[in-house]
C-alpha cells in the first residue's frame, strides 16, 4: 500500500530512518485510546484476537484517530474542543508531529487518510459559530496544512472516505458549541446533515432528515464496501422520545431510519456513540454507553436484537462479526446475537475503536 512517494517522503520526514509498516508493530487490526488504571492515557494497537500489539503513552485523553494505510503511524485527536492532534510512530511511540488547527479552528475528534496515504483530512469547525471545515494535510511534507474546505454544515463530527477513495462523507452534527467549552448553543435551531464531498471539496450531495428530527445530531458513520452509509445519531430534544438512532443512506436515495421496538429504543436513552458494519457485511451495530447496550440492525434497517454490556461504546468490523470495546476494559466479539469475550484488561477503553485499512 505504501506508495514510493509516501515512502520517500517518510524517509525525509523522519531524518532518513525508514518508516516501518504495520507488520513491524505486531500487525494490529485496530487502534483504540484508553485510560489506564493509574490514570494515564495510552494508544493501543489490538490484533483480531483482542491482544495488545503495542501500547504507546498519550499526554491526554484521546477521542478517535485514523491509521495511515501504509506505514505504522496514526493520528490521534484530542477530545473536543480539540486544540491538537498527534501523529504517533506506533513502533517507537514517538510523537512524529503535533498538528494544530489554524487560528480560530478546532479539531472535532475524527479524521481520515486518503486511500494512498498522501493526505489527511480532519474534521474541524470554526470556533465562533461552529461552521464545518475539513482540514487537508500533506502527509509527505510532514503533515503540512495545505488547505481546507467547507462541510456545508455546522459542527461536523465523524468523516469517512467513501469506497473508491474519491469522495468523503461527513456527519454534520448540527450543534453550535461555545468556542471555549462544549456548551451547546443552538439546541432549538439545529440542522444536522449528511454530506458527500469530492476530495477537492466540491459538494456531491447533502441529506437532511425531516424537521421533526432536527434535534437528532448526526455524529458517527460506517460505510459498507458497496457504498451504503450508516449514520448514528444522538437525540438532543426532550428525554424519553425514543426516536430512531440509526439512519442508512445510499447516494441519490432517501435515507432510511432504523427503529427498534419502543421499549428497546427507550433503553438506549436517545444516544448512539458508535456504529460499525459487521465483517460479513450483514448487519450494522450501534452502541449506547448510557443504556449499556448494543442494537443490531439488518442492512435494510430491520431491528435484529439487543446485546447488553455496561459502558459499551467503541465498535469496529471484525472478520467474524463486530468488535465492541467498553469503559470497563472489555473487548467483546459479537457474532450475530452471540457474544464472546476476547479480552478484559484493567483499563477503560475510550469512545472509539479504529479499524486499520484492509
Asked if 308 interacts with another protein (CB under 8 A), we say yes
Per-residue contact flags (x/-) with another protein for residues 159 to 198, judged by CB under 8 A:
----------------------------------------
Residues with Cβ within 8 Å of 52's Cβ and at least 6 positions away in sequence, in order, are 26, 44, 45, 46, 345
Phi, psi dihedral angles at 13 (to 5 degrees) = -65, -35
**Interface with another protein (CB under 8 A), residue from 140, 332, 353, 356:** 332
| Phi and psi angles of residue 12, each rounded to the nearest 5 degrees, phi first | -65, -45
Distance CA 243, CA 229 (A): 19
62 in contact with another protein (CB under 8 A): no
For 196-213, give one letter per residue: b (16+ CB within 10 A) or e: bbebebeeeeebbbeeeb
Give min distance, CB of 349 to another protein, in A: 8
**x/- letters, 243..262, toward another protein (CB under 8 A):** ------------------xx
The only residue of 234, 285, 315, 317 in contact with another protein, by rule CB under 8 A: 234
User: Which C-beta is closer to another protein: that of 116 or that of 264?
Assistant: 264
Place of cell 507488520: 23
Q: Least distance (Å) from another protein to the CB of residue 111?
A: 14
The answer to whether 147 touches 136, Cβ cutoff 8 Å, is yes
Instruction: Identify the residue among 101, 155, 289, 317 touching another protein (CB under 8 A).
Output: 289
Cβ-in-10-Å burial (0-12, 13-18, 19+) of 76 comes to buried
Nearest-angstrom CA–CA distance, 331 and 344: 6
228 or 288, CB closer to another protein?
Answer: 288
Pair type for strands 283-288 and 293-298: antiparallel
Q: How far is the CB of 43 from another protein (least distance, A)?
A: 16
Q: Does 129 bind another protein (CB under 8 A)?
A: no
Q: Which is nearer to another protein, 279 or 330 (CB)?
A: 330
* 124 lies in the site for another protein, by CB under 8 A: no
Binding segment for another protein (CB under 8 A), chosen from 21-29, 47-55, 195-203, 239-247, is 239-247
End-to-end CA distance of the chain, in Å? 10
Provide the minimum distance between the beta carbon of 74 and another protein in the complex, in angstroms, as a whole number: 19
Nearest CA to 128 out of 154, 110, 146, 147 is that of 154
Looking up cell 430534544, which residue turns up?
A: 237
Residues in contact with another protein by the rule CB under 8 A: 35, 63, 79-80, 109, 157, 219, 234, 238-241, 261-264, 266-267, 271, 273, 289-293, 306, 308-313, 326-330, 332, 339-341, 344, 348-351
Amino acid at each position: 500500500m505504501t506508495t514510493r512517494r509516501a515512502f520517500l517522503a517518510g524517509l525525509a520526514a523522519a531524518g532518513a530512518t525508514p518508516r516501518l509498516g504495520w507488520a513491524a508493530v505486531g500487525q494490529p487490526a485496530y487502534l483504540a485510546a484508553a485510560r489506564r488504571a493509574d490514570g494515564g492515557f495510552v494508544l493501543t494497537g489490538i490484533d483480531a484476537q483482542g491482544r495488545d500489539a503495542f501500547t504507546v503513552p498519550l499526554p491526554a485523553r484521546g477521542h478517535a484517530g485514523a491509521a495511515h494505510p501504509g506505514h505504522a503511524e496514526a493520528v490521534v485527536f484530542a477530545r473536543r474542543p480539540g486544540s491538537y492532534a498527534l501523529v504517533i510512530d506506533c513502533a517507537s511511540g514517538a510523537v512524529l508531529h503535533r498538528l494544530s488547527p489554524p487560528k480560530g479552528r478546532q479539531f472535532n475528534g475524527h479524521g481520515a487518510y486518503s486511500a494512498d496515504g498522501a493526505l489527511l483530512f480532519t474534521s474541524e469547525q470554526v470556533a465562533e459559530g461552529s461552521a464545518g471545515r475539513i482540514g487537508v494535510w500533506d502527509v509527505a511534507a510532514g503533515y503540512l496544512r495545505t488547505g481546507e474546505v467547507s462541510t456545508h454544515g455546522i459542527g461536523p463530527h465523524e468523516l469517512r472516505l467513501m469506497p473508491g477513495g474519491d469522495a468523503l462523507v461527513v456527519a454534520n452534527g448540527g450543534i453550535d458549541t461555545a468556542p471555549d467549552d462544549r456548551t451547546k448553543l443552538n439546541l432549538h435551531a439545529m440542522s444536522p446533515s449528511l454530506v458527500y464531498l469530492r476530495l477537492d471539496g466540491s459538494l456531491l450531495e447533502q441529506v437532511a432528515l425531516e424537521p421533526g428530527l432536527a434535534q437528532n445530531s448526526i455524529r458517527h458513520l460506517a460505510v459498507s464496501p458497496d457504498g451504503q452509509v450508516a449514520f448514528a445519531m444522538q437525540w438532543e430534544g426532550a428525554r424519553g422520545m425514543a426516536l430512531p438512532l440509526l439512519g442508512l443512506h445510499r447516494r441519490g436515495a432517501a435515507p432510511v431510519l432504523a427503529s427498534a421496538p419502543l421499549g428497546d429504543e427507550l433503553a438506549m436513552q436517545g444516544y448512539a456513540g458508535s456504529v460499525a458494519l459487521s465483517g460479513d457485511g450483514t448487519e450494522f451495530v450501534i452502541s449506547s454507553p448510557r443504556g449499556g447496550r448494543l442494537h443490531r440492525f439488518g442492512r435494510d434497517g430491520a431491528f435484529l436484537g439487543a446485546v447488553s454490556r455496561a459502558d459499551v461504546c467503541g465498535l469496529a468490523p471484525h472478520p467474524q462479526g463486530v468488535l465492541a470495546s467498553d469503559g470497563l476494559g472489555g473487548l467483546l466479539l459479537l457474532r450475530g446475537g452471540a457474544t464472546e469475550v476476547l479480552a478484559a484488561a484493567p483499563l477503560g477503553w475510550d469512545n472509539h475503536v479504529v479499524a486499520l485499512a484492509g
